[in-house]
Structure 1
Amino acid sequence: MTEMDRDAMDRDRDVEILSKETVFKGYFQVDRYRLRHRTFAGGWSEEMVREVFERGHAVVVLLYDPDRDKVALIEQFRPGAYAAGWHPWLVECVAGIIEEGEHPDEVARRETREEAGSDPTDMIHIGDYLVTAGGSSESCKLYCARVDSSIIAGTHGLAHEGEDIRVFVIDPAEALAMCRDGRINNAMAVLAIQWLIMERDGLRARWLGA
């Protein structure tokens, strides 16, 4: 799809919602859509029925210490990984859901305090992406936060939310090695670490004035 094609496709004009109903509502929500959309050849697609998992939208925060050239990551239990037959304790970046009325920047700072026991001294917005657009509306807003890694350690999280989160500090090269050998196997952490490897020199120059 070219940029011209993308510009030509309009979200509201070229998608017709025939019906929408909530078929499940618990910790998360599932909505069922009946819809059709315009095709690249012209005309309209056949009617399709799709369930969409409504999880909300999230922030993801890569914690980086440019003074020591260290990355702080977290590890916690994930039921989705367990259900998929994978080892359910995943190495990740700090992350959290944006509640209605919250600003993503403040969510990023709050989650950094709750999950890593640290307050960012600076933070940049890297970009946004969809997690799994084929079946979920969830998007992630990705940040890199400047932290002091010398005081990051231990376990954190909110007990009333069932969180048991271990935080640890490693070299960026080791983080990349963990992505390569599968010790880090979730997309949000892999994306963030690969971004850091590409942009680390410029990021350190920005934050250290080098």
Structure 2
Amino acid sequence: MTDAASPAPRPGTVVPDHRGRTGLDLTGRELNGNPDVRVVDVELVASAWHVLRRTTLDYRGPDGQWTRQQRETYDRGNGATVLLYDLARRTVLLTRQFRYPVYVNGHPDGMLIETAAGLLDDDDAITAIRREASEETGVRIGEIEHVYDVFMSPGSVTERIHFFAAPYDAGTRTGAGGGLEEEGEHIDVLELDFDESLAMIRDGRIQDAKTIMLLHWAAIDGPFAR
């Protein structure tokens, strides 16, 4: 007979969740790089497609006193993004797709203009962004430049995004792009004049952080500056 006072283990801990994962409540328990932080407990709050954890930790402040705190972190894995540019024609290749989180937070229609991007899954960053660029824009990336790696929302989201830039031309556009239908992706491919893309930042037509960062990099330190 099951003890009513002992609830069944949450899927993703000692029993697999729907994706076959276990041990999701162990992440962070091994951290020891900061002597002013001691991880006390990690609770798995949810493990749908991505993972939500509530961590209890002790933090030693500048006065030497320890305080107990809790932090919730959303773990969706790391990602990569790439700015595709044609220097000769002064164009960039961007995407547009529906993003419900921005729609529910005030974007007029949720159709966000972005650089090609995606999660790494089990690949390294360069392999992942070559895959995503091909799926989303139809471009086969050859030469590629690493720009920087950025934590995009460090207050609650663990994701680190690897930023890249790569040239494209008619010869590297080997497909139509548009994303994967089996993953529910419906992506428009936009080829824009580079100066127009900067104007779109100023007037609010481009509001995606990674896209703004890469376009400004291209103008200040990247291919269009050089």
TM-score range, shorter chain: 0.7 to 0.9
The answer for unaligned runs of 5 or more in structure 1 is 1-9, 205-210
Matched residue, 1:189 = 211
Correspondence for 1:207: none
Residues of 2 paired with 1:201 and 1:30: CA distance?
Answer: 39
Gaps (5+ residues) in structure 2? Answer: 1-31
Corresponding residue of 2:91 = 70
2:50 matched to which residue of 1? Answer: 28
Aligned CA-pair RMSD: 2.0
- Structure 2 residue aligned with 1:136: 157
Cα contact 1:70–1:149 (8 A) shared by 2: no
User: Are the structure 2 counterparts of residues 11 and 182 from structure 1 closer, same or farther at C-alpha, using a change threshold of 3 Å?
Assistant: farther
1:162 partnered with 2:193: no
Change (3 A) 1:160 1:45: farther
1:145-195 Cα distance to aligned partner (Å, 9 max, x none): 111158488551001111000011111111111111110011111101000
Partner amino acid, structure 2, of 1:31: R
- What percent of counterpart residues are identical? 32
CA distance in 2, matches of 1:66, 1:97: 27
What SS does the aligned partner of 2:67 have?
coil
- Per-residue CA deviation, residues 78-136 of structure 1 (Å, 9 max, x unaligned), is 01112213231000000010113x11101011111000001112100000111110011
Aligned residue identity for 2:80: V
TM-score normalised by structure 1 residue count = 0.85
**Once the 2 structures are TM-superposed, how far is the Cα of residue 56 of structure 1 from its aligned partner?**
0.9
- Asked whether the 8 Å contact 2:149–2:161 carries over to 1, the reply is yes
1:36 Cα shift?
A: 2.4
Contact preservation (8 Å) 2:134, 2:175: no
> Hey, what's the Cα distance between the residues in 2 that align with 1:83 and 1:152?
35
Select 1:106's aligned residue among 112, 123, 127. Answer: 127
Counterparts of 1:121 and 1:11 in 2: how far apart (Å)? 38
Contact residue 153 and residue 168 of structure 1 kept, 8 A: no
Runs of 4+ in 1 over 3 A off after TM superposition: 149-155, 200-204
Larger Rg: 2
Paired with 1:58 and 1:129, the residues of 2 have a C-alpha distance of 10
Which of 89, 106, 129 lines up with 1:85 in the alignment?
106
Give the counterpart letter for 1:96 in structure 2. G
Secondary structure at the aligned position of 1:47 is classed as: strand
Confirm or deny: 8 A CA contact 1:157 1:165 kept in the other structure. Answer: yes
Which secondary structure does the structure 2 equivalent of 1:133 belong to? coil
Aligned partner of residue 122 in structure 1, secondary structure: coil
Q: How many residues align?
A: 193
Contact 1:64 1:71 in 2 (8 A): yes
